[in-house]
Amino acid sequence: MTVQMTLTAVTLDCPDPPALAAFYQQATGLEPHPESNADFAGLTRGGGLFIGFQRVDDYRAPHWPEQSAPQQAHLDFAVEDVDEAEARLLELGAVKPDHQPGKDRWRVFLDPAGHPFCLVKG
């Protein structure tokens, strides 16, 4: 028997929740959650999407593509114009690593806390 579950949130560990929330807010246009604070910040949109950012003491950023500190998870974002989105994300503080395994299918970036995320044409 299958349990019927609806994914309502994704939460990322980080050293500075408000700063990482600000990066993703500028990148996605999601709205800051009104109860965000220095230890846990969130972004939301009508329809239930919630991305959370929780403070972790002694946070260790992922080392992508190496696995000495694994990525644990990553987010994928569909965009209309990948080149335009890339330019904006780099302005906001994202990093584009040299290793790009997706060729023309996707591009990998690292957010300011080091989490890998991908852009895909959508």
pLDDT tens string for the chain (122 positions)?
A: 666 657 778 999 999 999 999 999 999 999 999 999 999 999 998 777 899 999 999 998 888 888 787 777 778 899 999 999 999 999 999 999 999 998 888 899 999 999 999 999 88
pLDDT score of 47 = 76
- Residue position matching structure tokens 């302005």: 91
pLDDT score of 3 = 61
8 A C-beta contact, residue 49 and residue 33: no
Residue 86 tokens, joined: 């890339």
Residue 118 tokens, joined: 């991908």
d(CA 52, CA 89) in angstroms, rounded, equals 19
pLDDT score of 70 = 74
